[in-house]
Structure 1
């Protein structure tokens, strides 16, 4: 008996014909098993997307529920220390204690999730957002003052927020353009110990204008920034004699500040975080080295 020849598929390339061999039985079985497994999976597990949600699956499994369960388990484990941290007077928490160590680690996570977007991942600040590593702190840099600022925020809509507002000397026509130029030059001269027309941050100004601006500053700015320009942290008025200028110390930037004023806002984190998280964030920020 002659061996049955395999038929071809009818395809031919350069005289080479393709044989129509059947697929291996093991391969077909695996393929059919995969199809059955896929059908079973889409029935049992969340799979098919809809307009607002996906099919839940008969097993009701959910990644969100699994994460929530893990979070709840950790919260249960840390409930006692969280309660102690929330009830504690932050000024009385001793560095090196278990509560302090836990709070600093917890505060680091709180900071990364809620504060680093403005103050930077290393807390060194950004344009318009204060550096938390130095000692130039409006509203006070002690641990309890830091905790209050985090709790209630700055210039937001809550009654307890830290609040100050600089007049818009130009936009509201409180000063003439000439007076603004004079005030700007004098303000820049306050951070120029040499008096040579270049301040500590490299901004240049007109020395003659600065001399004329002393009177403008005295009548319009000294009530907040002080006669010597060293500021008043409890009014939210920054020190104009140092090299730390939140929005920049060059002429154009200072002019814009005097003309339009600044009004930075910080959320009242006490409305979004637990008391333990607020206290933890204060501990973390304060131990970075800035403040008092």
Structure 2
């Protein structure tokens, strides 16, 4: 509802949800702020709100412009807008559906900067179809050297490296083990401007069987930070590892342990699509005045 504030400025009250994505354990996933009915907000206000929430991403739900889409989403970090991101996709679809949204087809179709992304309910979880990579293939030696130096790794620590960029710009290094992944302590100054993911296999005897891979995501924006659970990165990793035969067609990735989180990403290849799924739970519901 539009109304003037005490200074005579027109304000709006919009539906606001904060959801926890990729974990069934309370407050141990990746939080996402979702603002509904944001068609009247200018870009600068979306940027200000995303900077203010200070979460890894804030999304704004709008009316679709593509005839096949159910809704349109814009995805902002505190510093920039992204064409696609994974936990914002699942969280936005969950909020849209929880508010009575009914898809036009068997799948929810999200419109975003990367195009149309299908989201389906598989068992009790929502899953999105991994979008095509904008950049894939081996990492050049200069980029690789910069990345492993910034992560304080030696060349022998890395089994393989690939680009897995589906929007945010991910480079991925495959390490020998879950323990090696958890031991990494990045040099944030050297990592500036890069987005680097690392992945290592769990050992069933040493690490357990609740997951098959450990993942971490390092973002060199601003002062640098580690993302708790990252759908876009896991999508790119899944495409790479399944195609190369390193991972089976169905597996679970763990992410966030280094930050005290308990993220679980459920990966499944069905025909030509790779689906990235996880739990989503609403933790805050109300309105935001803009």
Q: TM-score, normalised by structure 2?
A: 0.26
Relative to total residues, which structure has the larger strand share, 1 or 2? 2
Relative to total residues, which structure has the larger helix share, 1 or 2? 1
Q: Which has the larger radius of gyration?
A: 1
